[in-house]
Amino acid sequence: MQKHGFASKRNVLPYQTPRLRDHYVLGKKLGQGQFGTTYLCTHKVTGKLYACKSIPKRKLLCQEDYDDVWREIQIMHHLSEHPNVVQIQGTYEDSVFVHLVMELCAGGELFDRIIQKGHYSEKEAAKLIKTIVGVVEACHSLGVMHRDLKPENFLFDTPGEDAQMKATDFGLSVFHKPGQAFHDVVGSPYYVAPEVLCKQYGPEVDVWSAGVILYILLSGVPPFWAETEAGIFRQILNGDLDFVSEPWPSISENAKELVKKMLDRDPKKRISAHEVLCNPWIVDDIAPDKPLDSAVLTRLKLFSAMNKLKKMALRVCQFLRIHFSHIRGHSRKTFRGRNRWIERVV
């Protein structure tokens, strides 16, 4: 059993680093995750703004947590040349924190951006999913499986009209080899693939998650939902896709066919990331430019707001779990990893 505070005596990085505060000034808090807090930071020499994710080492209570952080850093470096992946600027470590300094994305999250714009079409959905699946294809070609694709993990680099969308948060990503199977249950409830819940899966799970995002982009609601996480998982395993309710009758057949291929429960039959990018709805510019029903934006706004409330509640629960596990001297194995709480619900 690890003693509380033991983590602070160990290093995550296999190399020595300068002090973060010798190079950057930390500013306001931008966001809060299970493991770390993200701050605005300014380079002392250039004045350029970045985002700094600071992870308290006291929260890394087992070797697996150390490995997760180091792997996230390696994967971000691995994908550093891709234009739609948040760039990592540098890593710093002291006795208390590990800091990841990254490109600042000041243009907001995917759904917030759509809602703010106020109008939306299939054509725009096709462009967005092309970018998302482009990141998936790049990951898979480099032997990386993301495992936690969801709209919150896609940010825009600037508030401007020509902003680029960037993938972020590779905390659950892993390196994989062809034919290698994974068995740990990770991800986020609405987006997790059925084979993840069955604890036997490969990189095809990322295409499923992208398919869920596409379904939401076109309809404003997830394809599988229920009032509880366990109910959501049962729907993912056995529920039917709804292409009857509004707005689906007015959505093009090409779009619906692509969604069906991405959400095939059999990973061997599921379309690959490369095949998605070659689909006529994506490449032939045939997606209609007609604005989608305003109800789609309304539902999207409600779904996004609900997700943010749930995330806040989950953050409180995770804090209490970790706090009481310290008091009781329990191992944190049950709760290890970002979003691995899913395993406790299945």
Q: Is 65 an annotated catalytic residue? A: no
**Helical spans, DSSP H, in the chain:** 63-78, 110-117, 122-141, 194-197, 204-219, 229-238, 253-262, 273-277, 280-283, 294-328
pLDDT of 61 over the 60 cut? yes
Question: Confidence class of residue 311 from pLDDT cuts 50, 70 and 90?
Answer: low
Beta bridge partners of 88: 102
Quick one: how far is CA 86 from the chain centroid?
Answer: 12
Q: What is the pLDDT, as a whole number, of residue 139?
A: 98
Question: Confidence class of residue 258 from pLDDT cuts 50, 70 and 90?
Answer: very high
Q: Which of 65, 148, 157, 206 is catalytic?
A: 148
Q: What is the pLDDT, as a whole number, of residue 257?
A: 98
pLDDT of 79 over the 90 cut? yes
- φ, ψ for residue 291 (rounded to 5)? -60, 135
Is there a cis peptide before residue 247, judged by omega within 30 degrees of 0? yes
pLDDT of 178 over the 80 cut? yes
pLDDT of 126 over the 90 cut? yes
pLDDT of 323 over the 80 cut? no
Q: How far is CA 327 from CA 211, 318, 322, in A?
A: 42, 14, 9
Q: What is the pLDDT, as a whole number, of residue 342?
A: 47
Q: What is the pLDDT, as a whole number, of residue 313?
A: 56
252 CB neighbour count, 10 Å cutoff: 16
- Range of lowest pLDDT (71-75, 86-90, 312-316, 328-332): 328-332
Q: What is the pLDDT, as a whole number, of residue 9?
A: 54
Q: What is the pLDDT of residues 263-298, one digit of tens each?
A: 999 999 999 999 999 999 999 889 999 989 888 989
Q: What is the pLDDT of residues 208-235, one digit of tens each?
A: 999 999 999 999 999 999 989 999 999 9
User: What average pLDDT does the structure give for the chain?
Assistant: 88
What is the number of residues in the chain? 346
Q: How far is CA 205 from CA 180, 196, 294, 324, in A?
A: 13, 7, 31, 34
Quick one: how far is CA 191 from the chain centroid?
Answer: 10
Structure tokens at 297: 């934006």
Q: What is the pLDDT, as a whole number, of residue 310?
A: 65
Alpha-carbon gap, residue 203 to 208, rounded angstroms: 10
Highest mean pLDDT pick, 76-80, 291-295, 299-303, 321-325: 76-80
Q: What is the pLDDT, as a whole number, of residue 1?
A: 39
Sign of CA dihedral 209, 212, 217, 220: negative
Q: What is the CATH architecture assignment of 1-104?
A: 2-Layer Sandwich (3.30)
Question: Confidence class of residue 330 from pLDDT cuts 50, 70 and 90?
Answer: very low
What is the 3-class SS of 299-315, one letter each residue? HHHHHHHHHHHHHHHHH
pLDDT of 154 over the 60 cut? yes
> In the chain, what are the domain boundaries?
1-104, 110-298
Q: Was 269 annotated as part of a binding site?
A: no
Give percent above pLDDT 90 in the chain.
75
Q: What is the pLDDT of residues 14-46, one digit of tens each?
A: 999 999 999 999 999 998 877 789 999 999 999
Q: What is the pLDDT, as a whole number, of residue 314?
A: 53
pLDDT of 326 over the 80 cut? no
CA angle 59, 60, 63 (to 5 degrees): 165
Domain 110-298 CATH class label: mainly alpha
CB environment 177-202: b (16+ within 10 A), e (fewer): eeeeebebbbbbbbbbbbbbbeeebb
Is residue 213 within 8 Å of residue 150, measured between CB atoms? yes
- Long-range pairs of 327-336 with CB within 8 A, sequence gap ≥ 24: 329/1, 331/1, 331/2, 331/61, 331/62, 332/61, 332/62, 332/65, 333/62, 336/62, 336/64, 336/65
Residue 319 or residue 60, greater confidence: 60
Q: What is the pLDDT, as a whole number, of residue 285?
A: 83
Q: What is the pLDDT, as a whole number, of residue 176?
A: 96
Q: What is the pLDDT of residues 87-105, one digit of tens each?
A: 999 999 999 999 999 999 9
Is residue 252 within 8 Å of residue 288, measured between CB atoms? yes
Mean pLDDT of 61-69: 92
Alpha-carbon gap, residue 38 to 169, rounded angstroms: 11
Q: What is the pLDDT, as a whole number, of residue 118?
A: 81
